Chain A
């Protein structure tokens, strides 16, 4: 190693970050006074700073913390915009369907149920994957019902978590679909995201669909359409949970 090589790596050598080169650098320092002096300067400067850091670092003024707490209270998180990194071609396909769907939607056919399923699959994906709305702890059904009532005057009996099926109620939110009139109940079934959408004022025939890598179960009760969405392959588990939810949700 020559002086230039050694000097280029001196900071990381002094910081102990160059184990593979340490022996060669140490050997060079044995024979080269100039490099040795530089290495010495590096390690002394670092040692002095570390030793005196506490005395040098200023303390934030007492009022600053209070002002920050006041400023940042109830700040809703901004959505993460890294779509490309977190969504796949699936989302692109759904987007296309959404565009077409906007045209087809008024016609209540089997096909329009499929369009609805595609839209809700996107919302399902968006809330779980992109926004992480259901990353916290399970919540009681009463809390979900109160939130639905208070935030969009929507009276619904929210099915509670069901330990026997490993079903956990995670969150409720307003859904993008239908001008925000629909409710989105977010569950985890054995850890996997499951959504139950409730759309008032809409009747769709009961159906089981498999679209865009997701399974959907649709039913109608009391002037509301319900759609259950989960990743494909969970049909059996989903069927059991669907009957539970059909009985509970009113």
Chain B
């Protein structure tokens, strides 16, 4: 009936506010513009159909990210595309080894903010490894809470904290290195 349709339209309009963010997330996951668009379309279809499962007062953006992540995970599981799954524990260990704190002098925040090129920042992000990049991005760019990130990625909140910590550290070190090089 028409009351229900207008409710659906309002919900859809609200979800479309996050189209760019979702497309960005899809691009980071698929690394391919066509597949990213496909993933985003699928996400929207599921979200619109499942709109009654959305709890009012909770974060719509986080809810959409969760659907996107689940859709992506299901696709991979269904073998739509062969891909080497990273082992969470191995990822954490290797990152630990790679980023032991160094006694190097601190690069002031203002210098990095001023001198870092977008391309360098992008390269530093790309160098992070998927598990770390996603947590850092969801927190520092998309401003999700730790609990929301845990829900979206289906990992414990402690893992969110440790990946965030190490991801940020790696990013900082990559930028500092780049900055020192010139």
Contacts and interface: CB of A to CB of B under 8 A. Distances in A.
A107 interface: no
B41 A64 contact: yes
B59 interface: no
Residue with the highest number of chain B CB atoms closer than 10 Å, among A17, A48, A71: A48
Could you say which interface size class chain B belongs to? 35 or more
Contacts of A33: 103
A78 B45 CA distance: 11
B97 interface: no
B23 interface: yes
B87 interface: no
B78 interface: no
Interface string B3-15: 1111110001000
B35 interface: no
State the majority secondary structure of interface residues on B: helix
A136 B4 contact: yes
Residue with the highest number of chain B CB atoms closer than 10 Å, among A9, A41, A58: A41
A47 B50 CA distance: 36
Contact of B102 (A37, A46, A51, A131): A37
Given A12-B146, A37-B102, A42 B165 contact: yes
Contacts of A135: 7
A37 B103 contact: yes
Contacts of A60: 19-20, 22-23, 37, 40
Contacts of B175: 44-45, 48
Nearest to A61: B37
A75 B20 contact: no
B136 to A, nearest CB: 7
Given A45-B169, A65-B19, A136-B7, A77 B52 contact: yes
Contacts of B53: 78, 80, 82
State the majority secondary structure of interface residues on A: helix
Interface in A1-46: 7-12, 15, 17, 33-34, 37-38, 40-46
Given A49-B136, A52-B118, A60-B20, A80 B52 contact: yes
Interface in B39-62: 40-41, 44-45, 48-53
A75 B47 CA distance: 10
Could you say which interface size class chain A belongs to? 35 or more
Contacts of B109: 40, 43-44, 47-48
B45 A75 contact: yes
B95 to A, nearest CB: 14
B48 A75 contact: yes
B106 to A, nearest CB: 5
A172 interface: yes
B140 interface: yes
B2 to A, nearest CB: 7
Nearest to A59: B20
Nearest to B21: A57
Contacts of B27: 58
